Structure 1
């Protein structure tokens, strides 16, 4: 394949966005069951921001340099032994893995089962905004069992997963209430929210009762759990970064104490889930929401923008 080196986004110490830089590392080779993907775009997610800052050092370790990037859109560049259901040149999207990073690079190896084919009509930047939507599918359809006519509350409705939850909730026939910043209320209405509320202006106790609460923030879980109707379900994909042990402990305790368990999970999609995602896109129930696209050299600026708050959909980075 010619040059065996590639560009990748790295950091040599924990810290703010300024620790990120584009360096050169060896291009990986696909192991059996893996696919080498030529990355065309990836999005910036809260988990990698937390990892870069050092808040996940128990999981990522302290060995440097470390990498960022968890999802991707691109093309199959090479196949590892035993991969027969994809071909070189296929346009794919995927996620590196539950705890892995590294898609912020020109190439990355991914287990074949963590990739799906990109639907026709989506360019790489649009496609890179959607893999995290598999988390919303799992949360609403599989974990919460959201049914038509039920009342759904989405926290962080303008964000990467939240915007997908609003769209999917509407597609599943729910009555969707979206919590977002005041500046993003028109945006979440455009996505399909029936009610859009400024989360800073209305306290949880004044929101009413819901069949399903979908949380992307991880804070104030006790207050939002009180909003569940009898038989209601709450699903969270985040824990409080300031109090991770207490936050996760409360979720565990909720399974045996009081009304309504708080279900917590992190996305770990498979090929079948990416096929479901593609069908949602093809059926018009889900469309990509890209706030801004950055070049690879400005990955730090994309991290800085996400940390500043107020994102509408996803910040995506192009790998040209």
Structure 2
């Protein structure tokens, strides 16, 4: 795989470390690519813990294959190829990672996990961290692509790789790569109707003041147990999911709140809330803490990722936050 470029300092240093068997130097050189490779694996797998594991697998494979690196491609390209193949191998062994289309995208993704913003690459201009390509709706939509289409779409339309480079990395012809990309784009348009689909145009990164205000109001409504205020924040065609429970539902705002009440929330003993505004998957989010009878502290209960449209919550994806230490949230307030 070639990038038609002279051997760079990074590649020369890597080759020297590989030939000398200097594991510490090898790790130091490859480690700088960890965050972007982990995001790549996350897009492929939609699961933070699996992305961590596959990124580590990428470095192990790179070490074992180090003698094969000749500097014909950039080190970054070479590592992406290894990470991609590691993810494809993983997907080939996991039948439960192929969702069955049903019109409810989240319902087939019980393995979906949130991604902490603090673990994103630090360069805000990097296409690897464009907000539109890390939000939950995008991650879910990508999972509906067959694995080979998935990686072609990510490499071509998200990372901006040219067709020959993508084809060579995947050991495909340019024609088959182009065909896979065309089919992937059709699926993505169907999965993300009404969303911006040109991933190569300038992307947003920051929350709007409107989004920040809605998150604050969402937390305030919980802390005051103000169900009318909470209902008013939700769009009447709200899409709601609470993972890992199966099923995404489109419901009215009132039915959503009534369902939470019937499940025991906002009732005596489950009505003492605190919250922290944060961002996850570059989306506005609220970390919710609940103090139950017999406990002196508010303990981390759930995190709600919000897609906000025109000042209202159009999509709410909740996660049980008790098993997500990587989000780096306080366990109690």
The interval holding the TM-score normalised by the smaller chain is: under 0.3
Q: Which has the higher helix share?
A: 2
Q: Which has the higher strand share?
A: 1
Of structures 1 and 2, the larger Rg is shown by 2
Which structure exhibits the higher relative contact order, with contacts defined as CA atoms closer than 8 Å and separated by 6 or more residues? Answer: 1
